[in-house]
Structure 1
Amino acid sequence: MSLRAAVLGHPISHSKSPALHLAAYGRLGIGMSYTAIDVTENLLPALMGQIRDQPGWRGLSVTMPLKTAMLGQVDEVRGVAGTLGVVNTVTFEEHPTGTRTVGSNTDVAGIVSSLRHAGVAAAPSAVVLGGGGTAASAVAALQQLGAGHVTVFVRDTSRTGEVCAAAGSLGVELEVRNLADAARPAAGADVVISTLPPRAADGLAAGMAALKTSTPGVLLDVAYDPWPSLIASVWQAGSGTVVPGLEMLLYQAVEQVRLFTRLDEEVNASVIDVMCDAVGLPRRVL
C-alpha cells in the first residue's frame, strides 16, 4: 500500500511544504507521496469525507484558511491545538473500529524553535501583528518563551476572536491595538511576530522607516513570498535580527514529518539538512 500525505489550503500553489516533505521522505527512504490540494472551507467537509475512505493516508498539513475549520473535521484534537482552536496538522491512526483522524498543532513548536535559534531571551517584550489563527499560535509560542503580556496590532479590532480566546485560555495578558499605531511599539519590542498576509505590513514598514530609529529585537515574518518583505528589509536596516517565515515553516514541517512517518530520532540533522537544501535555507541543527 502506497503512503500518502498532502497540504490543504486556498490558494496553495505557492506552498513550499511539498519540497520540504518530499526531501525528508527521500532521505528517510520512505515511499510516501506528498501533494498540494487547493480546497476552500466550503469544500473541506466533502474532501475529508473522501479521504477517510482512501487507504494509505498518513497525514495532512493544514494552512490558511482551514486551520479553524479543520477542528470540526477530525475525530480528536490533541495538545495545544485544542487550547487554541487551531489545527495545522492531521494524522491518521488505525484503531479496531477503523481509521481515526487526529488534529494537532506544530505551528507553535515551529515558532518557538525559530525564535530560540535567533537568540530570543526568556520573558521577552512581545508584539504580534495580526489576529487570526497563526496569531493565536504566536501567542502560545510567546507564552512558552515566558512572555506574560503580548500586544496585538490588527487592522480591524473587532475581528480578534481567535487570538483573544487563545490568550485567555493560556493566561496571557493581551492588549489589542490598531495596526496604524504599531510602528513605535514594534520597533522597541524584543520580539515581533508578523502573521499578516504578504505586503499587508508594507504601510507599517514605511512608518517604521520614517521613525529613523534602531530595531534591536527579533522579527519573525511568517509570510515568506515575496522575500525579503518590506518590513524585513526595514527591520534589518535598523540592525535587528530577521527570521524568515520559511524558517518557521521548516521547523513545523520537521514535527509533521515525525508524526506522518511515525519516526522520531530518525528525523535527525541529516534529514533537516536536505529539507533546508530543498527550499534554499542555510542548514540548521535542532
Structure 2
Amino acid sequence: MPAAPATDPRRAAVLGSPIAHSLSPVLHRAAYAELGLTGWTYDAFEVDEAALPGFVAGLGEGWAGLSLTMPLKRAVIPLLDEISPTAASVDAVNTVVFTEDGRATGDNTDIPGMVAALREHGAEKVESAAVLGAGATASSALAALARICTGEITCYVRSEARAAEMRGWAERLEVAVRIADWSRAEEALSAPLVVATTPSGTTDALAAAVPEAPATLFDVLYDPWPTALAARWSAGGGAVVGGLDLLVHQAVLQVEQMTGRAPAPLTAMRNAGERALADR
C-alpha cells in the first residue's frame, strides 16, 4: 500500500481473548509517534471466536489493519479475501491489512519475525535445533526453523496427540523432524538452537540442567521475564532471544504493511516495550 499521509486519520487494533496483557498498542503507538503519523490510532479489543465475524463486518472506513492473537489466528481466515503463502503454510493469520480497493488480506509476521529476531542475535544458520512444546507457536517455530536449520529438528512433546500434530506440521512444511517424549527434554538443551514455546513455568525445572557452555535459546515468553531457563542460560554465557524480541520484530513488519512506511522504527518500538514491561 502507498505511504499514508501523516494527518490522515486511520485506525488499527489488536484483537484477542484475553487481550489486556498485550503490548501491541504500546509498540504500534510508539511507531506511529516516531513516523509522525499523528492521525493514526491503535487500540485493543477483547474479541473471541464467536464475536469475530460481527466485529470484522462492523468495521467502517478508515481502518488500516488488525493484529490478531489467540484464539483468532485461524478463526479469521474464512473472513478474508486472500492470505499469504506464509500464513497458509501454518493456517494462522496474525496480520490483516485492508487495501484501498476494499479487500482484506491476511499474513503471518510471526514466522519472519522469529527469523529476524534470531538473526539479530547471530543465529543465521544452525545445523540442528530442538523445539520444546507443541501447538500453534511450535508450528510457527517449525516454519521459521525451515528457513535457517540445515539438519534435523527434534520436538519434545507430552502426548501422542501432540506428537501426531507436530509430525503433520513437519510433513506439511517439508522439514525433518524427530519426536521425543517430554521426559527427555533435558537432552534438548545441548542443541545449537533451543526454541521454548511452552506456557509460563513449564520449563522452570529444566534450568538446573543447562549445560556449561549453552549455545542459543529462543524463549517465546516475555512476561514474566526472564524465565528461570532464560536466566540460567544467560548466566552460563549462552545467547538468549526473548519473547519481546519476537514481538517487536513481528510488529515491525505489521507496521510496515499497515502504514506503507518502511523501515519501521525498531529501536523506538523495542524501547517502548521494555519500558512498559518494567512498569508492570
TM-score after normalising by structure 2: 0.88
Moved more, 66-75 or 16-25: 66-75
Task: Sort the Cα spacing of 1:42 and 1:190 in 2 relative to 1 into closer, same or farther, 3 A.
Answer: same
Match of 2:141 among 138, 158, 161: 138
Say which of 39, 42, 55 aligns to 2:61. 55
Q: String of CA shifts for 1:182-218, please: whole Å, max 9, x gaps.
A: 112x21011111111222222333xxx1x46325211
Matched, 1:35 2:43: yes
- Cα offset for 1:239? 2.5
| Residue 157 (str. 1) matches residue 177 (str. 2) | no
Once structures 1 and 2 are overlaid, which stretch shifts more, 62-71 or 109-118? 62-71
Deviation at 1:60, TM superposition (A): 0.9
Determine the C-alpha separation between the residues in 1 that align with 2:48 and 2:142: 26
Alignment of 1:87 with 2:93, yes or no, is: yes
Instruction: Quote how far apart the aligned CAs of 1:66 are.
Output: 1.8
Equivalent residue, structure 2, for 1:284 = none
Identity of aligned residues (%): 43
Instruction: State how far apart, in whole Å, the 1-side matches of 2:165 and 2:12 are.
Output: 27
Given residue 61 of structure 1, which amino acid in structure 2 is its aligned partner? S
* TM-score where L is the length of structure 1: 0.87
Q: Secondary structure at the match of 2:58?
A: helix
Query: How has the CA–CA distance of structure 1 residues 258 and 199 changed in structure 2, closer, same or farther, with 3 Å as cutoff?
Result: same
Aligned equivalents of 1:254 and 1:141: distance in 2?
17
Give 1:70's aligned residue.
76
Kindly indicate whether the alpha-carbon contact (under 8 Å) linking 2:82 and 2:106 is maintained by their aligned counterparts in 1.
Answer: yes
Out of 10, 17, 24, which is 2:17 matched to? 10
Q: State the partner residue of 1:277.
A: 271
AA aligned to 1:254 is: V
* Per-residue deviation, 1:9: 1.5
- Structure 2 alignment gaps of length 5 or more: 1-7, 276-280
Please give the per-residue CA displacement for 1:56-89, whole angstroms capped at 9, x wherever unaligned: 1111111122222222221211121111111111
Alignment of 1:1-286 (within 5 A): 2-30=9-37, 31-51=39-59, 54-95=60-101, 99-159=102-162, 163-184=166-187, 186-205=188-207, 209=208, 211=209, 213-265=211-263, 267=264, 271-280=265-274
Alpha carbons of 1:212 and 1:86: their partners in 2 closer, same or farther (altered >3 Å)? closer
C-alpha spacing 1:5/1:121, structure 2 compared with 1 (3 Å): closer
Residue 183 to residue 214, structure 1, CA distance change in 2 (3 Å): same
Greater displacement, 113-122 / 158-167 = 158-167
* C-alpha deviation, 1:231, in angstroms: 1.4
